[in-house]
Amino acid sequence: MNNIETPIFLKRQDVTLAYTLLRIIFGINFFVHGLVRIGNMGGFIEAMVKRFQDIAPSFLIVPFAAFVTPVELISGFLMIIGLQTRNAIIAGFVLMMPLMFGVCLLQEWDTASSQLIYCLVFFILLAGCSLNTISIDKILRNRK
C-alpha cells in the first residue's frame, strides 16, 4: 500500500487574505473591548478590584486594571489598520498572561477557555506575521 500523502494546495493570496481578515476582525474585537470601557475607566477599575478583593490587594489590581483598557484599545486599533502589527499582537498576547492568571485564580474556567481561544488567535497572528502584506506596515516597508 502506498502511503503518499495528498498535498493541500493553498494559494498564497488566499492565505494572505485570510490572515488579513482574521487580523482585522480580531483587532475589531480587541479595539471595541477597550472602546466601550474607556468612558468608564473608574467603573471598570472598581469592578476589577471588587472581583479580586478576596484574592489580591487593590494596590496590585488598580494599576493593572488601568492598563487593560488602553492596551486593548491601542493594540486593537493597530491590528485593524496593520500598523506596528507585530508589536500590537505581542502587546495583546502579553496582556493575556495576567488575565489568564486572574481568571484561573478565580476558578472561572469558562472564561479561561474563552481566553485560551484568544491566545490561539494571537499565536496564529504572530506566527503568520510574514503574511501581513495587506497592511500599512507593508506600505511603509516598500517606501524604504
Per-residue model confidence as pLDDT tens digits over 52-71: 999 999 999 999 999 999 99
Global pTM? Answer: 0.89
CA atoms of 41 and 35, how far apart (whole Å): 10
* CB-CB contact of 96 with 118 (8 Å): yes
Three-state DSSP at 8 gives coil
Per-residue model confidence as pLDDT tens digits over 69-115: 999 999 999 999 999 999 999 999 999 999 999 999 999 999 999 99
CA atoms of 100 and 127, how far apart (whole Å): 21
* CB-CB contact of 68 with 114 (8 Å): no
**DSSP 8-state symbol, 129:** G
